[in-house]
């Protein structure tokens, strides 16, 4: 066996191992979501990968329809947490991408605000708990506690550095000659930005927005501290799924986790034609 063939075999073996490590938890979650109570409570040799008696009871349960006397009725269903996550993560992403894109373009093209990158980076340098204590005081004073728009605002602030740094790299890699040619033709700076630059940056914008959305969608700490009951998000609600009779409700958690995976996956599918170009934007720049 040649050396190159041996290397290829090792590479594919490493890829298969990494793929298995990644997919096993996902497959187990999917399997658990469709198991009845007796199966996801099983231990040892009674555990099975494939449900013996597939059921939708776990999905019905988190939406308020308990079909088993082994599980107590929920105080609140998963409808409002799902809505809270969708509203706060989406609006937070829009805030971060709008402010981050504008700031990145201004710094990349005009060099204004030389200390801005470091100032934004400082938002991520402090431990989250140290930052959240004063945020909780401010949000309480402003009346933003336990509200989806309060969450969206802090999500936009927290993920702003990611949006800014990602877009700055993309703007730096974009050639300026096209914008200069548009200005020579009589376009204003604003028209160049909206009609020339942004359409050319669709792929980077899509990839950056997906990254920021996933950060907001999967947040637990901020939502835990800034919501109490009315507008808790999916991660906070999932942590509360337990029963004094059965302990952790693994089947219900798996069902909710499967639902929580849908929006990021759908968003990725919708913008998949932009993702590869966005993630490799400027890679071949000479």
Q: Give per-residue pLDDT as tens, 53-94.
A: 888 888 888 887 765 555 666 777 888 999 999 999 999 999
Whether residue 284 has pLDDT greater than 50: no
* Per-residue model confidence (pLDDT) at position 1: 52
Tokens read off for 257 = 């986790």
**Residue 243: strand pairing partners:** 247
Torsion sign, CA atoms 26, 31, 34, 39: negative
Q: How confident is the model at residue 283 (pLDDT cuts 50, 70, 90)?
A: very low
Q: What is the phi/psi pair of residue 56, to 5°?
A: -105, 15
- Mean pLDDT for the stretch of residues 122-139: 81
Whether residue 146 has pLDDT greater than 80: yes
- Mean pLDDT for the stretch of residues 201-223: 89
8 A C-beta contact, residue 179 and residue 52: no
Q: Give per-residue pLDDT as tens, 12-50.
A: 888 888 888 888 888 888 888 888 877 776 665 667 778
User: Considering the chain, what is the average pLDDT of its residues?
Assistant: 81
Q: Maximum distance among all alpha carbons in the chain? A: 75
Q: How confident is the model at residue 267 (pLDDT cuts 50, 70, 90)?
A: confident
- Mean pLDDT for the stretch of residues 248-274: 85
* Per-residue model confidence (pLDDT) at position 274: 67
Q: Give per-residue pLDDT as tens, 150-204.
A: 999 999 988 988 898 888 888 887 777 887 788 787 778 888 888 888 888 888 8
User: What is the rounded CA–CA span in Å between residue 158 and residue 223?
Assistant: 12
* Per-residue model confidence (pLDDT) at position 92: 95
Using a cut of 0.75, tell me whether the model's pTM lies above it.
Answer: yes
Whether residue 282 has pLDDT greater than 70: no
- Mean pLDDT for the stretch of residues 232-247: 79
User: What is the rounded CA–CA span in Å between residue 98 and residue 129?
Assistant: 26
- Mean pLDDT for the stretch of residues 143-156: 91
């Amino acid at each position: 066996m040649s050396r190159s063939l041996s290397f290829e075999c090792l590479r594919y073996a490493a890829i298969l191992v990494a793929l298995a490590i990644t997919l096993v938890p996902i497959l187990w979650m999917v399997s658990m979501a469709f198991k009845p109570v007796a199966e996801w409570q099983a231990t040892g040799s009674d555990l099975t990968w494939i449900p013996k008696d597939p059921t939708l009871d776990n999905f019905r349960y988190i939406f308020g329809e308990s079909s088993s006397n082994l599980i107590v009725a929920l105080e609140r269903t998963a409808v409002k947490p799902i809505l809270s996550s969708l509203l706060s993560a989406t609006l937070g992403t829009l805030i971060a991408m709008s402010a981050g894109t504008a700031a990145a373009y201004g710094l990349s093209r005009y060099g204004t605000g030389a200390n801005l990158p470091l100032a934004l980076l400082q938002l991520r340098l402090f431990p989250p708990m140290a930052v959240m204590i004063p945020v909780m005081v401010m949000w309480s004073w402003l009346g933003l506690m336990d509200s989806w728009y309060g969450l969206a605002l802090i999500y936009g602030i927290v993920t702003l550095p990611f949006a800014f740094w990602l877009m700055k790299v993309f703007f730096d890699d974009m050639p300026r000659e096209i914008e200069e040619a548009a200005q020579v033709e009589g376009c204003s700076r604003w028209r160049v930005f909206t009609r020339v630059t942004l359409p050319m940056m669709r792929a980077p914008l899509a990839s950056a927005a997906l990254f920021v959305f996933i950060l907001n969608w999967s947040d637990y700490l901020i939502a835990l501290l800034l919501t109490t009951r009315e507008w808790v998000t999916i991660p906070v609600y999932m942590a509360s799924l337990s029963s004094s009779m059965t302990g952790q409700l693994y089947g219900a958690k798996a069902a909710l986790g499967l639902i929580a995976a849908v929006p990021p996956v759908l968003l990725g599918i919708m913008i998949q034609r932009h993702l590869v170009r966005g993630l490799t934007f400027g890679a071949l720049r000479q």
